[in-house]
Structures are given as structure tokens and as C-alpha cells.
Amino acid sequence: MREKIVAGNWKMNKTFSEARQLTTEILNQNLSTEVTVIIAPPFPFLQSLKDATKNSNIKIAAQNCHAKEEGAFTGEVSAKMLASMEIEYTLIGHSERRAYFHETNSFLKEKVNAALAHTIKPIFCCGENLKEREANHFFEVVKSQIEDSLFHLTEAQFENIIIAYEPVWAIGTGKTATPAQAQEMHAYIRNLVSKKYGSSISAITPILYGGSCNASNASELFKNPDVDGGLIGGASLKAQDFAAIVNAMESIVVANA
């Protein structure tokens, strides 16, 4: 069975004390060991929250990394720095990074390379905006994002990739892709991977859904055969809501065991 993952992207939220409190509350939820649980707090909190979760099954991810190892890039954080803190995962290509910071597919390719060079697993985000969805260009957009940024990798490298499909039109809008829409895109992505790397690689590649997934819709989304969990935004900022999403994934894992 593919790894099942629920990852919380805290974005630019929480003060240090609030982040510590939220982490404590999440730890107190006694989350499932059947699901890989990841939280991605802001950069300044990484080491403290890694220390706080060291005796739990919660993993820590960065929200981003730079493509270069070091140099005159004020305000940036490299994969080399993250690796020195033993951070295991980083988001790459989140729609907000693409939109607000104009990160291109070619630049994201460099970031993927940098993360993998330091044994950090990329959670690679892809997805279409509302205009692209309404114009029925969503398959082409996602195909380009994946091919341009990931398909240069060897099979061994690609085995460390986690893909997160995030329809941009459903992030922070209250809109959610229907379970059928999510499954359609996830199956399409898995087929792309299969054509490039073969069915054995595509069969083990986790593909997460990342568009306004919450406690009330998680179960229906996760029931789809190609949806392997979620990249959670706002709902990850409330411990009970985040735990409910993890529990929804656990229920499906147990049912399919």
C-alpha cells in the first residue's frame, strides 16, 4: 500500500508561542501511527518544533527552500541549511510561491534538485487556476508543471517525490474540487508518472489533495483510490480539525488493510 500522508501547511501564521501551543495541542490528539503526519511551520520555528515532536511520529517540513546552497540571497533558506537541522521534507512549488514570487517551472526544477541532493523529500505542488480550469486547460497545465520540474529525475530520485495537487481556485476560497474532480486529476497524474517511470514507480508515488480539504470533506476525498492524503492549509491551524482529517485517513487505511 502507498504511504498515506496528511501534511499541514501553516503558511505565514502563528507567533512563536502560538506555534508551540498548537504543536502541544496536536501532540495531545494522539494521532494515528498508520498515517504519516507532517507539519510545515514558518522557518523561525523549525528547530523548536522539531525538538518538541522528536518523541512522536510527527514529521517537520519546511515551507520552501532556495535552489542555491549558499550566497548573497538575503532572507532565503537553503536545502543545505535545512539538512543541517535534519529536516526531512520541504514544500516546493506551492501556488502562492508561483503566483506571488513568480517561481517558474525551471526554477522549481533547481529547487527539487537541491532538496534531493541533501536527502530532503520534496512535496511538489502543482495545479491550475480558475481561468485555466474554466478554459479546460487544467490537464495541460499540470502536465507541464510536472514534466518541466520533475521528469528529468532518475527513477531512484523520483521515488523520493511526493506530489500535491492543489487546484488554485479551491485554495482559501471555500470551494473544493468534488471527489470526482480530485480523483480525475490524481489518476491523470499517476498515469503521467507511469508513462515516464513505469507502473511500479507510479504505484508507490503518494499524490495528495491540497484544495480546501477540511474535517467535513476529508473522508469523501480520501476514499478515492488515487488520493493518498492531503496538504492541509487553514484546517491545520486548529488541532482538533487537523486530527479529524488524520483520523479520516486512518479509517480508510484500516478499512483497506
pLDDT at 114: 98
224 occurs within a structural domain: yes
pLDDT at 199: 98
Q: What is the CATH number of the domain that holds 159?
A: 3.20.20.70
pLDDT at 173: 72
Q: Please give the grid coordinates belonging to residue 14.
A: 502563528
Per-residue confidence band for 126, with pLDDT thresholds at 50, 70 and 90: very high
149 occurs within a structural domain: yes
* pTM exceeding the 0.95 threshold for the entire prediction: yes
Can you state the angle between helices 138-150 and 105-117, rounded to 10 degrees? 40
Catalytic residues: 94, 166
pLDDT at 104 over 80: yes
pLDDT at 243: 97
Q: For 25-82, what is each residue's pLDDT tens digit? A: 999 998 988 999 999 999 999 999 999 999 999 999 999 999 999 999 999 999 999 9
Domain span including residue 245: 5-64+75-256
Q: Please give the grid coordinates belonging to residue 35.
A: 498515517
Can you state the angle between helices 138-150 and 179-197, rounded to 10 degrees? 40
Tally of structural domains, the chain: 1
| Mean pLDDT value across residues 136-148 | 97
Per-residue confidence band for 139, with pLDDT thresholds at 50, 70 and 90: very high
Per-residue confidence band for 100, with pLDDT thresholds at 50, 70 and 90: very high
117 occurs within a structural domain: yes
pLDDT at 170: 83
Per-residue confidence band for 130, with pLDDT thresholds at 50, 70 and 90: confident
69 occurs within a structural domain: no
Mean pLDDT of the chain: 96
pLDDT at 38: 98
pLDDT at 221: 95
pLDDT at 2: 93
| Mean pLDDT value across residues 119-144 | 95
188 occurs within a structural domain: yes
% the chain with pLDDT above 70: 100
Q: For 159-204, what is each residue's pLDDT tens digit? A: 999 999 999 988 777 777 899 999 999 999 999 999 999 999 999 9
70 occurs within a structural domain: no
236 occurs within a structural domain: yes
58 occurs within a structural domain: yes
pLDDT at 1 over 90: no
